[in-house]
Amino acid sequence: AAMQQIGTPYVWGGSGPGGFDCSGLASYAYGQIGKSVPHYTGAIWNDFPKVPNSDLQAGDMVFFNGGGHMGIYIGGGQYVHAPHTGDVVRVANLGDRGDYMGAVRA
């Protein structure tokens, strides 16, 4: 569901479908498959079990910048996210982030 939003504009506080922020994209995508995920990075980080880096699976939620940003892991070292104002939902490489914090599984 998140991959279908590629190219959708970043909107602060956005929960779609016309615009998303990072946690809004996760909340929307998981909602499409019947899972409730809060629209707040801190709550998501606290509400779900942590996943070791060695066990990352597609669908895990990955966190950066001390929990200030997140995305959804899609496998192959990549994740989909809504980066920031002026950008759009897109795929990025996990290895390009120096501020990776960890992951959780819904």
Which residues are annotated as catalytic? 22, 69, 81
The two structure tokens encoding residue 31: 């909602």
First to last CA, the chain: 15
Strands 100-104 and 90-93: unpaired
In whole angstroms, give the CA distance from residue 75 to residue 65: 21
Q: Please, what is the Cα angle at 103 between 69 and 89, to 5 degrees?
A: 40
The two structure tokens encoding residue 14: 């956005």
